[in-house]
Amino acid sequence: MAVRHRLVRGALEEVWAVLADGRLYGDWVVGPSSSRHSAGDWPGVGSRIEYTVVLGPVKLTGETIVRLCQPPRQLELEALSGWLGSARIAFELRPWGDDTLVIVDEHPLRGPGGALHNAALDALLQVRHRSMLGRLARVVETHGAHEGEDD
């Protein structure tokens, strides 16, 4: 199980606003080269975002489904990656003074990832999470800085 955390400069509501905006998914998630709304009202339970990952000449498609949504503190997703299987990705948000502590917990559920899950895979997930949480922090800081400009 790969668990990582980051203190994000922004209020709990600002971080939640980014997670709850499906249009921003591709801005902070590491891996997809593109993403698009597929079904439901993101981030409602059962809503879906389809994504494409490009690895050289190979294009892989997948889908992320919301499995649990408890605004503004918890969002749990299942990333379905075809023959590779699926993974649970859980976000927990905790107010930390004026900022927000974001905890991400990911582990494989099905397919080869689940069957072959080991410390080496967790190490790779840690690297991915570090990057993803950094991207999330940047989106929150940018998004929060521009909120209200259209009003």
Q: CA-CA distance, 13 to 67, in Å (whole number)? A: 20
pLDDT above 70 for 2: yes
Could you tell me the residue range of the domain that residue 122 belongs to?
2-146
Answer with the residue of higher pLDDT: 90 or 116. Answer: 90
In three-state secondary structure terms, 117 is: coil
pLDDT confidence of residue 17? 95
pLDDT above 60 for 147: no
Averaged pLDDT score across all residues of the chain: 85
At 99, the pLDDT band (50, 70, 90 cuts) reads very high
In a domain, 17, yes or no: yes
Q: What is the CATH number of the domain that holds 131?
A: 3.30.530.20
Q: What is the mean pLDDT of residues 46-72?
A: 89
Hey, what are 78's tokens? Answer: 């299942």
- Rounded to whole angstroms, the maximal C-alpha distance in the chain is 51
In a domain, 130, yes or no: yes
Q: Using alpha carbons, select from 45, 42, 38, 34 the residue that is nearest to residue 69.
A: 45
Number of separate domains in the chain? 1
In a domain, 131, yes or no: yes
In a domain, 151, yes or no: no
Tell me the sheet residues that pair with 39.
48
Q: What is the pTM of this model?
A: 0.85
Tell me the residue length of the chain: 151
pLDDT confidence of residue 149? 47
